């Protein structure tokens, strides 16, 4: 039986851990900056200075593998 789907998941997981360690990747910081940029863009397009975009809190679950 072929295991391409499992192989892809394992490779992606290994790449993510490599980015965490080698490139000091911080996904929380990246997500926060994206939401800030989205809020600024929405404010400039609508002209409403009170508009804010709140990021959703998501939990990263550990894989059982």
R_g of the chain, CA atoms, integer Å? 18
pLDDT digits (tens, 9 = 90+) for 5-49: 999 999 999 998 888 888 888 888 888 888 888 888 888 887 755
pLDDT score for 39: 85
> With a threshold of 0.85, does the pTM exceed it?
no
Q: Could you give the CA distance from residue 17 to residue 8 in angstroms, rounded to a whole number?
A: 14
Selected residue with higher pLDDT from 54 and 37: 37
Look at residue 4 and tell me whether its pLDDT is greater than 60: yes
27's CB contacts (< 8 A; 6+ apart) are: 60
What pLDDT does residue 50 have? 56
């Amino acid at each position: 039986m072929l295991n391409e789907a499992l192989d892809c998941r394992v490779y992606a997981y290994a790449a993510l851990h490599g980015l965490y360690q080698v490139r000091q990747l911080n996904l929380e910081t990246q997500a926060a900056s994206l939401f800030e940029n989205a809020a600024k863009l929405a404010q400039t397009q609508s002209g409403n200075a009170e508009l804010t975009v709140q990021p959703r809190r998501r939990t990263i679950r550990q894989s059982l593998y």
